Amino acid sequence: MEKTKVIVGLGSCGIAAGAQKIYFKIESLMQTDKLDFELKKTSCIGMCFREPLVEIIDKNGSYLYGNVDEKRITEILEKHIKKNEPINEYVVSTKLFDTEDNKFFDAQVKIALRHCGMIDPESIEEYESQQGYAAIKKIAEEKISYEAIIQSILDSGLRGRGGGGFSTGMKWRFARNNKSDEKYIICNADEGDPGAFMDRSLLEGDPHAVLEGMIIGAYAIGATDGVIYCRAEYPLAIKRLNIAIEQAQQKGYLGKNIVGIEGFNFDIHIKEGAGAFVCGEETALIASVEGERGMPRKRPPFPAESGLWRKPTNINNVETFANIPWIICNGPAAYSKYGTEKSKGTKVFALAGKINHSGLVEVPMGISIRDIIFKLGGGIPNGKKFKAVQLGGPSGGCIPEFLADTIVDYDSVNATGAIMGSGGMVVMDETTCMVDIAKFFLNFTQEESCGKCTFCRIGTKRMLEILNRITEGKGEDSDIAKLEELAIQIKDNSLCGLGQTAPNPVLTTLKYFRDEYEAHIFAKKCPAKACKPLLTYEIIEEKCTGCTICAVKCPVKAITGERKQVHFINQETCIKCGDCFTRCKFEAISLQ
Amino acid sequence: MRIERIKKHKEYQINDKVDLSLIDALIAKYNGKKGNLIPILQGTQQTFGYIPNEAFVKIADETGLKLSDMYGVATFYAQFRLKPVGKYIIKVCHGTACHVQNANLITEALQEYLEVLDGETTDDRLFTLESVACLGCCSLAPAMMISDDTFAKLTGKEAVNIVKNIKIKESN
């Protein structure tokens, strides 16, 4: 009989929630109580809202325990392992009985994330046992030609998952057709969008799938060397990639004459990014790998023609590569049966913000945004109203509630003014101010503009100044028109994607939430009550008990009043810090 | 990636003696390789916590890399620091998810407690406060990272308490 397995989810998010402590606790309990089971590690399964997660697989099946703390794990081991009595109320997901969170997994189709949270990412044997490296072996055994591989990827309809949505097969064909003695394949793991963590989870959870995707790509285009450009902010991903590369080299998946294919020599190196959002852009990324300032170059020539060290180069995103081995193993038709006419397959989304079930989901293209947020994401917390969802990070836009039935495919999302992007979905409720969000993203792109083009460098700065003014209550009548004019100029005249898309957050919020801008400018009010300078704090006379706490704590002594008498806020001196509002125990302070 | 680049409102003297021989091995490893500039700077920063002026000069002398190129790169990327930092670097996440969950309040609370502005180091050189764009823990927002430990679902008060505890531990 197989040993019972206890598996702890040790992705970045799990560790942040305390999973490492749980792992040590299990280790020590295992010794002190002489328990007999196999203790294993895995990565993020996507259910971040229930971290830390511990899965127990016994003879009956799998039980996924959520929100595990040290007390709970002791109890779980005591009952489930020693007495063989699973504690059903702590189980968040299982195939054995109904749980509330089962539906989180039921609606998903896992292709790119097929191994995440299922295998130990630091073990090549576990990857191999799950069809790992089967695709590259199949290519060797069946002597599949590079042309046939490119055709398969074309037939699968796979489009670049980094945001651009360009056909991966076409990209490979361009790179193939350029003759050169040296060619490069680069994996873009510079996941810079604030609010996106798909690539991080994939690299931490299934590094070998990304490597195998790159190896197949290298074979298809004839690449001689591979580079993974990974953010330095992802130390765990880099560590696991290094382990994976070493294991793959030892097993002959990297190096000379890979899997016995005569003359197929290929190796992969990691380049750590140094923290520049613009390096997600292909040509800037190449400049950065070459050791220069990460500034975009003019295209054409495209990287497929003249890229890294002026040699033909193919760049794909992490998620794109993770899909490749699956497509080769299962055939392009199995992949293209999911999705819509022009967007095939599945897409990984990172759900965050004002949403109950934040985490990572993989869904077939064509599902509606509403379904993702309410069926998978469990809706909005604290009974608040769903207002908008931000897609595509700083290059994307806000999709309002009334367009939530938009389906996710590249073209439908583009039609709203947002972009699919790499898959970050940040949900906003009624307390989020849309002008503030636009300002937030513009502040980001303005900081991250590399400075090469005037329109991007100065234009975004001027837009940010206007937005700052608006949120401070100093908006002028002509501001909206000025914003629109600047936005169009920046879009039309910038060299790279960063500048061309930087105004999107402002344009989409202006399109769908113009009334909020107008309220800020003309009425000097923030409808979401988020922009502090536009708020007024007042004491509700009926509720004030005269406890004096607000008056004592007010940093500028703007509150006056006798003990047990109604207090009063002097609006002239009030600095709107909100301290009285958070401190009042009687809800006697109103916010307007 | 720092949302707000370091804005120093006070200059403190750098009196640190730097042992430049610590980067000999690093220079030997990368010397002459193409695309070596960023890895050398990254390695130097890992050794000293920042890139001292003397190190720039030494690297230029020994590798032939141009000072202007190095300085250009070091000031372009958010990762590189040209001034020493505190023993603990507090990175408060200001990614989108953290922003909508009021990450500003965390920075404000820490600024008030540490009496420094964003990007500054405390006088005792114990803490450097930074804002970063996304630590990738969006589902656990708002988050902050101190050294390599991530703290999730914070309030301003909790963040201050975590820093307080480190301070107490350090003074013992």
Identify all chain A residues contacting B152, using CB atoms and an 8 Å cutoff: 13, 16-17
CA-based nearest residue in chain B for residue A197:
B136
Q: At what angle do helices A207-221 and A168-177 cross, to 10 degrees?
A: 40
The answer to whether the CB atoms of A275 and B141 lie below 8 A apart is no
Q: Is residue A112 one of the residues assigned to a domain?
A: no
**Do A444 and A277 touch, CB atoms closer than 8 A?**
yes
Q: Domain end: A102, A136, A171, which one?
A: A102
- Domain boundaries, position A27: 5-102
- Give the containing element (helix H, strand E) for A404: none
Number of domains chain A is built from: 5
Distance CA(A544)–CA(B69), nearest Å, equals 64
Q: Are residues A53 and A156 in the same domain?
A: no
Contact flag A291-B137 (C-beta cutoff 8 Å): no
Q: Which of B1, B36, B80 sits opposite A192 (nearest CB)?
A: B1
Q: In degrees to the nearest 10, what's the CA dihedral of A150, A196, B6, A555? A: 170
Nearest neighbour of A15 by CB, restricted to B2, B139, B150: B150
User: Is A504 inside a domain boundary?
Assistant: yes
Residue A352 and residue B141: Cβ atoms within 8 Å? Answer: yes
Question: Can you tell me the distance from the alpha carbon of A358 to that of A376, in angstroms, rounded to the nearest whole number?
Answer: 9
Q: Is residue A132 part of a domain?
A: yes
* pLDDT (0 to 100) of residue A575: 84
Using the 3D structure, point to which of A478, A500, A523 is the last residue of a domain: A523
To probe the interface with A, which of B66, B137, B150 has the most A CB atoms within 10 Å?
A: B137
Q: How far is B24 from chain A (nearest CA, A)?
A: 20
**A321 and A198 housed in the same domain:** yes
Chain A stretch 339-378, residues whose beta carbon is closer than 8 A to a beta carbon of chain B: 350-354, 358-360
- Nearest-CA distance from A88 to chain B in Å? 25
CB contact under 8 A, B76 and A393: no
C-alpha torsion sign, points A197, A200, A205, A208: positive
Most distant CA atoms of chain A, gap in Å: 90
Do A582 and A517 fall into the same domain? no
Nearest chain B Cα distance for residue A446, angstroms: 9
Domain CATH code at residue A560: 3.30.70.20
> For residue A560, what are the β-bridge partners?
A568
Residue A464 neighbours by CB distance under 10 Å: 20
What proportions of chain B, in percent to the nearest 5, are helix, strand and coil?
45, 10, 40
Residue A370: inside a domain, yes or no? yes
- Interval B133-171: pLDDT, tens: 777 677 778 889 888 788 888 888 899 999 999 999 988
Residue B96 DSSP symbol: H
B132–A233 C-beta distance less than 8 A: yes
pLDDT at B124: 87
Q: In terms of domains, do A42 and A130 share one?
A: no
Chain A hits for B162, CB-CB cut-off 8 Å, are none
Select from A440, A509, A583 the residue whose CB has the most chain B CBs within 10 Å, as the one to mutate to test that interface.
A440
pLDDT exceeds 80 at position B3:
no
Compute the nearest-CA separation of A429 from chain B (Å): 9
Predicted TM-score of the model (pTM): 0.90
Token duo for residue A501: 């898309």
Which residues of chain B have a CB within 8 Å of the CB of A309? 34
Do A390 and A458 share a domain, yes or no?
A: no
Domain boundary among A102, A132, A166: A102
Task: Kindly state whether B29 is in contact with chain A, defined as any CB-CB distance less than 8 angstroms.
Answer: no
Q: Select the residue of B1, B136, B148 nearest A197 (Cβ to Cβ).
A: B136
pLDDT(B2) > 80: no
Angle between helices B53-63 and B67-76 (to 10 degrees): 130
Distance from CA of A21 to the nearest CA of B (A): 12
CATH number of A31's domain: 3.40.30.10
With a CB-CB cutoff of 8 Å, which residues 297-326 of chain A face chain B? 309
Tell me the CATH number at A362.
3.10.20.600
Are residues A445 and A418 located together in one domain of the fold? no
Identify the band that residue B13 occupies on the pLDDT scale cut at 50, 70 and 90: low
Q: Does A15 touch chain B (CB under 8 A)?
A: yes
Interface of A with B in 435-474 (CB under 8 A): 437, 440-441, 443-444, 447-448, 450
Q: Has residue B9 got a pLDDT over 80?
A: no
Q: Does residue A496 form part of some domain?
A: yes
**pLDDT interval class at B1 (50, 70, 90):** very low
Same domain membership, residue A286 and residue A163: yes
Q: Which parts of chain A sit beneath pLDDT 50? A: none
Place of tokens 């069926």: A375
- Is there a single domain that holds both residue A47 and residue A140? no
Query: Which tens digits make up the pLDDT trace of A520-554?
Result: 999 999 999 888 888 888 899 888 998 888 888 88
**What does the DSSP assignment read for B31-82?**
TT-TT-HHHHHHHHHHHHSS--HHHHHHHHHHH---HHHHHHHHHHSTT--S
Contact A189, A183 (CB under 8 A): no
CATH number for the domain spanning A153: value is: 3.40.50.11540
Neighbours of B151 (CB within 10 A): 20
Identify the CA nearest to A508 among candidates A368, A379, A413, A380.
A413
Euclidean distance between CA atoms A422 and A251, whole angstroms:
32
Residue A48 has its nearest CB partner, among B4, B132, B140, at B140
A420 lies in a domain?
yes
Q: Is residue A366 part of a domain?
A: yes
Domains with residue ranges and CATH for chain B: 20-76 (no CATH), 88-171 (3.40.30.10)
Which of B34, B38, B136 is facing A12, going by the closest CB pair? B136
Helix (H) or strand (E) holding A229: strand A225-230
Nearest to B76 among A289, A294, A309 (CB): A294
A50 and A79 part of one domain = yes
The chain B residue lying nearest A449, using CA atoms, is: B76
Q: Which pLDDT does position B15 carry in this prediction?
A: 60
Dihedral sign, Cα of residue A297, residue A298, residue A303, residue A305: negative
Contact across the interface for B97 and A448, Cβ inside 8 Å? no
Whether ipTM exceeds 0.90: no
Same domain? A171 vs A22: no
Cβ-defined contact of A195 to B39 (cutoff 8 Å):
no
- Answer yes or no: is A284 within a domain: yes
A327 and A192 fall within a common domain: yes
Residues A176 and A287 in one domain: yes
Q: Is A290 on the interface with B (CB under 8 A)?
A: yes
